[in-house]
Amino acid sequence: MGHFEASCRGQYPRGERGMTFLDGITSLLSHLRLKKYSPATLDNYGDQLKRFGEWLDKQSIHDLRQLSKQHIRDYQAYVKQEPIGRETQALRIRAVKRLFNHLVDQATILLDPTEGIKEISRREKLPRPVLTKKEMDKLFAAPNLSLPLGIRDRALIEVLYATGIRVGELEKVTIHHVDLPTQTLQIRHAKGGRPRTVPLGKTATKWLKEYLTQVRPRLAKRRPFERALFLVRGGKPLAQTMIRHLLQQCRKDANIKKSVTPHILRHTCATHLLQHGADIRAIQQLLGHVSLKSTTIYTRVVPLEVKATHTQYHPNERKDGPHEDQ
């Protein structure tokens, strides 16, 4: 039994009858292991499906055979309103479809409730509106720096903005992956199993140094063996859900109307670099994109912002109209 199945056993116990969530996910992950899928891929499927299991529990659905197409549509609507990136939304639905496709292939269930359900499209979609430099400054100023956790939160936001790191990658960064003298961060557990080293820059390095020297030792006092970079009170690692929650709180404190998620900060990092003349291939390497096509979407975002600036400031676009020739 894998780590994920073991962690779910107590939360989603096997029933005496029917096909429970734990039965289904155990079967799928066992099948993927036999197919030699990488541990990172298995962890990703496990993480995405765990969210589905939590939703099922809230709906008091304990037998997967009870699920109808409407249930899947309801879950898809639920996923769409979550404060997560569109790519993550697509992965959540894809994992559910993969689960039921497997169960039908194994003749464990007869009907696939995900059949005909369209995945959330990731193609030809521009990123959600990125933050402006002024909005980033407001976000940086949101944490209460008189508190240890405020310094931690400032360092976290600085790292997200400086590196464009994915939240799943950041969650697995340890203190040994930070090199303050060279101002770099090693991303060992990267998406697709492709590790990379990214620059932190002097500002993020400054805040990381303060966090590592002044705050983290206090947080890790009860768990001196813990190696995760960012910790909560008590010394446990700061999980993805907590990172998203603290960003939402900072957004409210800063009175920012736009959505603020780890993925928005990733898009903001890339867009601001492009706006200031960075080479798109350098941005590709920073973000860890395999294909340059994934990065070129930002070349479509910048012209939109230029258009918005033109509309706001060009004399011919102002409400009073163009001035007459003198």
- Of the candidates 90, 105, 120, which is a domain's last residue? 105
Residue 56 lies in a domain: yes
Number of CB atoms found within 10 A of residue 153's CB = 25
Can you state the angle between helices 240-253 and 262-275, rounded to 10 degrees? Answer: 70
Domain of 12: which CATH number? 1.10.150.130
Residue 120 lies in a domain: no
Q: Per DSSP, what are the bridge partners of residue 184?
A: 179, 199
- Of the candidates 105, 124, 142, which is a domain's last residue? 105
Residue 117 lies in a domain: no
Report how many domains make up the chain. Answer: 2
Q: Report d(CA 267, CA 273) in Å as an integer.
A: 10
Residue 187 lies in a domain: yes
- Of the candidates 105, 120, 145, which is a domain's last residue? 105
Residue 229 lies in a domain: yes
Residue 126 lies in a domain: no
**193 in Cβ contact with 215 (< 8 Å):** no
Which residue segment(s) compose the domain that 57 sits in? 3-105
Evaluated on CA atoms 24, 26, 31, 33, the torsion sign reads: positive
- Host H or E run for residue 179: strand 178-179
The residues that are catalytic are 166, 191, 263, 266, 289, 298
Q: Per DSSP, what are the bridge partners of residue 237?
A: 231
Per-residue pLDDT in tens (0 to 9) along the chain, 326 residues = 455 444 444 444 444 457 899 999 999 999 999 988 888 788 888 888 999 999 999 999 989 998 999 999 999 999 888 877 777 888 899 999 999 999 999 888 888 998 888 776 655 455 568 899 999 999 999 999 999 999 999 999 999 999 999 898 999 999 999 999 999 999 988 877 788 999 999 999 999 999 999 999 999 999 999 999 999 999 999 998 899 999 999 999 999 999 999 989 988 998 888 888 888 888 888 888 877 776 676 665 555 554 454 455 545 445 444 444 43
Q: Report d(CA 207, CA 10) in Å as an integer.
A: 40
Token representation of residue 1: 């039994």
Q: Per DSSP, what are the bridge partners of residue 185?
A: 178, 198
My answer on whether 22 and 167 are in the same domain is no
The length of the chain is 326
Residue 151 lies in a domain: yes
Domain of 269: which CATH number? 1.10.443.10
